[in-house]
Amino acid sequence: MTRYIIRRLLQAIPLLFVISLVLFVLMQNMGDPVATMGGRSVTRSADRERLRRQLGLDKPIAVQYLYWLVGNDWTKIDLDGDGVAETPGQRQGVLRGDFGASLVNRGKPVLQVIWDRLPNTLLLMGASELVIIIGALLIGIYSALRQYSVIDHVVTAISFVGYSMPIFFIALLTMYIFSVNFKRWGLPYLPTVGMFDPGVGKTTGQVALHMILPVFSLSFIYFAGYSRYVRSTMLEVMSQDYIRTARSKGLPRPVIIYLHALKNASLPIVTVIGLDLPLLLAGAIVTERIFAWPGMGRLFLDHASRSDTPVVMGILMMISVAVVVFQIIVDVVYAWLDPRIRYS
Amino acid sequence: MGTLLEVTDLRTRFSTPEGVVHAVNGISYTLAEGETLAVVGESGCGKSVSMLSVLGLIPIPPGQIASGSARYRGMDLLKLSEPELETIRGREISMIFQEPMTSLNPVLTIGRQITESLRTHLGMDHGTANRRAAELLESVGIPDGGQRLRDYPHQFSGGMRQRVMIAIALACAPSILIADEPTTALDVTIQAQIVELVIQMRQQIGMAVIWITHDLGVVAGIADRVIVMYAGFIVEEADVESLYADPRHPYTVALLAALPRADRRRDHRLKSIPGAPPNLLVKPQGCPFARRCDFVIERCWSDNPALAPIAPGRKIACWIDVKTGAPR
C-alpha cells in the first residue's frame, strides 16, 4: 500500500508539470495585466513598458514559464530597459514554494492572498458538503427502501427541480423570501451579504447566521444528484443475494441496511464525493459572488477578470494538486472498504 | 415424530408490469421433526418462492401472500410481524442458497458474518462468538477455522463458500434447515461433499431439512419424503422409495424418464418433456400440465385436479391412473 501511494505520487509529478504548462499558455490569452493597473489617469506608453519589464512580461512565454517554475534568482534581469541585464532576480519559483506576487494586490505574495481566503471557502463549502452528504444519504436510503412510495415521488420531484435550477436563481429566491419579504412581514430575517455584520463583529453566531442562505442554496442544487446516486446504488445493493442471506439470518433491519447494504453501496458514492471534494477548495464562484462571501470563488473571479496571472495560476495549481491527492485518498478508502481491491 | 411445520393453502403472487404472476397456488404440506423433505420440480415452478414466503423473505411489494398459514410451534409464521420473524429466522429456521458466489457479503469478513447470528440470537459476547465460529468452520470441514475467520468471501472457493454458508445457517442449531438448491452451482464432486455434509450435520443437530432441488439424483440420497411441484401446485407427494419405484403423476413419470440411471442400457435415450412450463401470468384453467401430458383426457382441460390421497402417505393431483391410462 505505501509503495502504491508513493508510486501514485511520483506519477503525479509529470502530470502536474503538463497541467501547469497548459494553464500557463492559456493564461497568456487572459488579457493584458498592465491594461488594468493604470488607475484612473491614462498611463503613458513609456510607463507601461517599464511596468512590463518590472513584472517580467516583456520576456518570451517560455522564459516567463521558466521563471515561474524555477525562479530567476540565478540570473540577472534588465529592469531599466537599456538592454543590459544588471539587476539580480528575486523570484524563487513554484518548485521552491514561491508562487510570485499578485499583480492586482501590488506585490502581496500569492500564497498570502490565497491563504487569506481559503478558510472562508473551506467553512462555506465544508458545511455545504456535509449537509449534502448527510441529507443525500438519509433521503437516498429512505427513498430506496420505500421505492415508488409517495415520499419517494415527492423527494424525486424536488430533486429534479433542484437539479434543473440554476444556482443564481435559487440564491436570489432565498434572498427574496427569507430576507426581503421576511423583513417586510416583520419576521426575523436572514442576512444576505458578507460573513458578518461589521457593527457586531466576526463572532461565531454572526458567521453561522450569514452562512445559512449560501449553504442552503449550494446544498439544494447539489443534493439532488447525490441523493439520486445514493438511491440507485442502494436499490441495486438491496436486491443482491447477500442481503437476502442477511435477512434469512434474522438480523435486525438497521444492521442489514447500514452495515450489509451501505458498506457495499458506499464504493460508488465515495468516488463521487472524492471527485467533488477538491472543488471545495475552488469555492463556489456564483454563490460567493451573489452572497458577497469572501472566499476563493470570488478571489478567482476578481483576479481572473484583471488578468492577475500569478494568483490565478496559484489557485488553479492548488486545485490540481488537490485533485491528485484526493484521487489517491479515494483509492486508499476503496481498499479499506472493499477487501477485494488490493494494490501492488 | 410430531409435526414441526404445517403449511396450509399457501398462495403467493407477484404484481409485475405484465400482470399478476401466480407463483404459488394453494399448496399444503407438513414437515415432521427430524425429517428430510425434498421439493422437486423444474425452474420457475414455485419451489423457492413457496419456501421464501414462509420466512417472509419475498420482496413485498411486488410479492404478496394472498392466503394460507404456516404453523410452526403454535405460531402462524405468515401472521408474524417483521421483528417477530427476525427471532425465528436464523435461530429456528435457517436457509442456505443456490449461489455461494453471491450469497455472502463481499465486504465483510467470514468471522463477522458467522458471529453476527450468534451474537444476535444467542447473545454471545465477541470472544465466545469467535471461538464458536471457529468451531463451526472446523465442523463444516474448513481447516484452520480460527485463522480463516479474518478472511473475506473472495478468498474461498465456491465449495468452501457453500460450507461457510452452511456454518452460518447452522450457527444457532436451528430446528429446520431450508436448502434452496445448494448444490446447483457447484461441480459434481463438490456437490456430493456438500450433500454428505448436510446429512452429517442433520444427524448431529437433529434438525429437519427441506431440500429444494431439480436434481432427482440428489433427492434419492438424502430425502425421506418428496413433494413434486409444477406451476405453483403440488402434483405428487410420496415417500422417496415409492416415488422412484412407482411414480403416479404423469409429470413425475416424465421427470424420472429424463433421469440417467445406472441400471439402464447405455443406448437408452433420455426422454425430455416436450414444451415448457405454463406462463404463470395466466390464471391456470384446468390442469397446468395438460399441454405436455401424454395421458391427457378431456376433463384435464377444464378441471384442475386437487391433490388427493391415493394410498397412505401418497397424494397425487391427476384425473387418470398412469398405469392403465384410464380415468380414476
Q: What is the DSSP string of B164-233?
A: HHHHHHHTT--SEEEEESTTTTS-HHHHHHHHHHHHHHHHHHT-EEEEEES-HHHHHHH-SEEEEEETTE
CATH of the domain at A223: 1.10.3720.10
**Total of domains in chain B:** 1
CB-count exposure of residue A289 (10 Å: 0-12, 13-18, 19+): middle
Q: What is the pLDDT of chain B when averaged over all its residues?
A: 83
pLDDT of residue B24: 84
Is pLDDT above 90 for B17? no
Within this chain, do residues A89 and A140 fall inside the same structural domain, yes or no?
A: no
Q: Where are the alpha helices (DSSP H) in A83-191?
A: 110-145, 150-164, 167-174, 182-184
Contacts of B221 (CB under 8 A, 6+ apart): B195, B199
Within this chain, do residues A241 and A149 fall inside the same structural domain, yes or no?
A: yes
Q: Does any domain span residue B211?
A: no
Q: Model confidence over A142-178: pLDDT tens digits?
A: 888 888 888 888 888 888 888 888 888 988 999 999 8
pLDDT of residue B256: 81
* 8 A C-beta contact, residue B84 and residue B93: no
Q: Does any domain span residue A103?
A: no
Confidence category of residue A15, pLDDT binned at 50, 70, 90: very high
Strand, helix or coil for residue A309: helix
Within this chain, do residues A87 and A141 fall inside the same structural domain, yes or no?
A: no
Is pLDDT above 60 for A42? no
pLDDT of residue B266: 64
Q: Alpha carbon B72 to chain centroid distance?
A: 17
C-alpha cell at B231: 406451476
Q: Model confidence over A288-340: pLDDT tens digits?
A: 888 888 888 888 888 888 888 888 999 999 889 888 888 888 888 888 888 88
Strand, helix or coil for residue A216: helix
Are B152 and A339 a contacting pair at CB < 8 A?
A: yes
- B80 vs B31: CA distance, rounded Å: 20
Within this chain, do residues A61 and A121 fall inside the same structural domain, yes or no?
A: no
Nearest CA in chain A to B103: A242
Average pLDDT value for residue range B188-193:
80
Q: What is the pLDDT of chain A when averaged over all its residues?
A: 85
Instruction: State how far residue A249 is from chain B, nearest Cα, in angstroms.
Output: 4
Strand, helix or coil for residue B133: helix
Q: Does any domain span residue A120?
A: yes
CB-count exposure of residue B265 (10 Å: 0-12, 13-18, 19+): exposed
Is pLDDT above 70 for A41? no
Phi/psi at A102 (5° precision): -65, 140
Domain range holding A284? 110-337
Instruction: State how far residue A331 is from chain B, nearest Cα, in angstroms.
Output: 16
Q: Does any domain span residue A235?
A: yes
Instruction: State how far residue B116 is from chain A, nearest Cα, in angstroms.
Output: 8
Within this chain, do residues A252 and A214 fall inside the same structural domain, yes or no?
A: yes
Within this chain, do residues A75 and A196 fall inside the same structural domain, yes or no?
A: no
C-alpha cell at B102: 453471491
Nearest CA in chain A to B121: A250
- Select the residue of B88, B107, B165 nearest A263 (Cβ to Cβ): B107
pLDDT of residue B1: 60
Closest CA to A271 of A323, A331, A194, A200: A331
Within this chain, do residues A220 and A252 fall inside the same structural domain, yes or no?
A: yes
Are A252 and B85 a contacting pair at CB < 8 A?
A: no
* 8 A C-beta contact, residue B31 and residue B2: no
The residue among A96, A118, A140 that closes a domain is A96
Q: Does any domain span residue A105?
A: no
Q: Does any domain span residue B118?
A: yes
Confidence category of residue B254, pLDDT binned at 50, 70, 90: confident
- B22 vs B167: CA distance, rounded Å: 34
- A229 vs B282: CA distance, rounded Å: 37
Q: CB contact, 8 Å: A1 with chain B?
A: no
Strand, helix or coil for residue B21: strand
Interface test with A, best of B104, B105, B175 (most A CBs within 10 A): B105
The rounded percent of chain B whose pLDDT value lies above 70 is: 96
Within this chain, do residues A91 and A20 fall inside the same structural domain, yes or no?
A: yes
Q: Count CB neighbours of A63 within 10 A.
A: 14
Within this chain, do residues A200 and A281 fall inside the same structural domain, yes or no?
A: yes
Q: Does any domain span residue A102?
A: no
Instruction: State how far residue A224 is from chain B, nearest Cα, in angstroms.
Output: 26
Q: Does any domain span residue B143?
A: yes
Q: Count CB neighbours of A45 within 10 A.
A: 8
Are A244 and B103 a contacting pair at CB < 8 A?
A: yes
Q: Does any domain span residue A343?
A: no
Q: Does any domain span residue B131?
A: yes
Domain range holding B113? 90-178+192-206
User: What are the start-end ranges of the E strands in chain B?
Assistant: 3-16, 19-32, 36-40, 63-72, 75-76, 93-96, 176-180, 208-213, 225-230, 233-239, 308-311, 314-316
Is pLDDT above 90 for B130? no
Q: Count CB neighbours of B287 within 10 A.
A: 27
pLDDT of residue A21: 92
Average pLDDT value for residue range B220-243:
86
Residues of chain B with C-beta less than 8 angstroms from the C-beta of A250: 85-91, 117, 120-121
**Chain pair A-B, CB pairs under 8 angstroms:** 81
* 8 A C-beta contact, residue A157 and residue A228: no
Contacts of A149 (CB under 8 A, 6+ apart): A143
CATH of the domain at B170: 3.40.50.300
- A330 vs B48: CA distance, rounded Å: 40
Interface test with B, best of A239, A245, A334 (most B CBs within 10 A): A245
Confidence category of residue A38, pLDDT binned at 50, 70, 90: low
Query: Checking DSSP bridges between strand B233-239 and strand B225-230, what pairing results, if any?
Result: antiparallel
pLDDT of residue A35: 73
- A287 vs B318: CA distance, rounded Å: 75
Q: Cα dihedral sign for A78, A82, A83, A84?
A: negative
Average pLDDT value for residue range B57-73:
82
The residue among A37, A64, A96 that closes a domain is A96
Would you list which residues of chain B are within 8 Å, Cβ to Cβ, of chain A?
A: 55, 57, 59, 82-83, 85-91, 94-95, 97, 99, 102-109, 116-117, 120-121, 152, 154, 165, 168-169
Within this chain, do residues A78 and A132 fall inside the same structural domain, yes or no?
A: no
Average pLDDT value for residue range B112-131:
86
Q: Does any domain span residue A344?
A: no
Q: Model confidence over A223-255: pLDDT tens digits?
A: 888 888 888 899 888 888 898 888 888 888 888
Q: Which of A37-41, B31-35, B208-212 has the lowest mean pLDDT?
A: A37-41
Q: Model confidence over A97-136: pLDDT tens digits?
A: 888 888 877 778 889 999 988 888 888 888 998 999 998 8
Instruction: State how far residue B158 is from chain A, nearest Cα, in angstroms.
Output: 15
Q: CB contact, 8 Å: A176 with chain B?
A: no
The rounded percent of chain A whose pLDDT value lies above 70 is: 97
Within this chain, do residues A63 and A168 fall inside the same structural domain, yes or no?
A: no
pLDDT of residue A18: 94
Q: CB contact, 8 Å: A263 with chain B?
A: yes
Is pLDDT above 70 for B265? no
Q: Which of A86-100, A249-263, B80-94 has the lowest mean pLDDT?
A: A86-100
- B201 vs B139: CA distance, rounded Å: 9
Within this chain, do residues A157 and A229 fall inside the same structural domain, yes or no?
A: yes
Residues of chain A with C-beta less than 8 angstroms from the C-beta of B152: 339-340
More confident residue, A324 or B278: A324
**Total of domains in chain A:** 2
Q: Does any domain span residue B321?
A: no
